[in-house]
Amino acid sequence: MSRAALLALSVLAVLGAVLLPAAGRAAAAVPDQWGFAYLDNPTPPPGYAPDPSRQWGSWPSPGSNLVTVDQTGLGTYTVHFPQIAGKNGIAHSTAVTATGDSCQISGWSPNGANEDVGVSCFSPTGTPDNSEFTVLYTTSSGTLPAGATGYGYVYSDTSGSLLASYNSAGGGNSVSKGGTGQWKVWLPGLGAASAVGNLQVTAVDPQQDAHCKPVAWTPAATGQTVTVACTDANGKPYDTRWTLSYAVQRAVHGPAFPPKSFAYLWYDGAVPAGTTYNSSGAGNGLATSGTGWVLTLPNVATPSDHAQATAYGNDTGYCGFAAPWTRSGSTALLDVTCYLPGGAPAPKEQFFAAYTSAV
């Protein structure tokens, strides 16, 4: 059956503890620096510039001053973001493959004026493997006016110590360590008493395959509590570093208006109203497609653009994109596919997905 026919039959319309010092109260643009890219060639030649229609950033002349990628080994890559070297930032990555591969961040650091982000990809059995992927880097400071929107992130080490943190409400985020492979995150002043916004979580490990995701989310008027769990390739609890970001009516890397075209959705067996958002005011759609899902995001498809996804729930599943997102007129289409350790499809896996344009 064609995708158009599938969507016509099954699209479901949906409406739209360790503390770091709080960010300074001075108003600032959110984010300060950012960049995103999609590696469309899993075996790139040295200095490869990936798909220009799926990369952009806050550096000067992003349409001509391009992100480049070097492959450093089997399944390992260094992504060079030009002229956005910064401090206190985070990175996310999502595999783009139909084979059950996963991708994670291995680390990031300034390289002169540039920011270099390492990405490592693995087969479903946990061995290094070449893969396509999306990757973003972003760093923020200052605060946002009180209101409906908000943004925050943490980068945690294995003990729960914060290596980077930001909160647009000015609060001090915290992380506390639980058992092996489990942490509790507190994001004060963000969100609402009911579930609103979008979460993304990515493992940060330079040595072995790791899958990290939010497994529980408790909203409150005073802030958001999120439990993060990480496992190894076999689904066993595993201590590793990880990043988490939380955005409410803002793009996945932090900004809003601009960009004017972005959207997100949370599927937890249903789609809670506050967790599906489309900046155009249109209703996002969700449909089954084989063993995965197709998200339809009307009126926001604008290159250059970007997407991220993460699994959710207290199990060992993980999620990515089966193929690069497509644009049908002004509608963006995202193919989310989830897997169990070993690569078996997990069609009932819950997930968060986010899409943004650069403008």
Phi and psi torsions of 26, nearest 5°: -65, 135
* Euclidean distance between CA atoms 351 and 308, whole angstroms: 11
pLDDT tens digit string along 170-211? 999 999 999 999 999 999 999 999 999 999 999 999 999 999
Q: How many CB atoms lie within 10 A of CB 26?
A: 8
Q: How many CB atoms lie within 10 A of CB 135?
A: 29
For the residues 36-64, what does the mean pLDDT come to?
97
Helices within the chain (DSSP H only): 3-10
Asked whether the predicted pLDDT for residue 17 surpasses 60, the reply is no
Nearest alpha carbon to residue 240 among 218, 275, 211:
211
pLDDT tens digit string along 247-285? 999 999 999 999 999 999 999 999 999 999 999 999 999
- Beta bridge partners, 308, equal 354
pTM: 0.93
* Euclidean distance between CA atoms 167 and 343, whole angstroms: 36
Q: How many CB atoms lie within 10 A of CB 94?
A: 27
* Euclidean distance between CA atoms 353 and 71, whole angstroms: 27
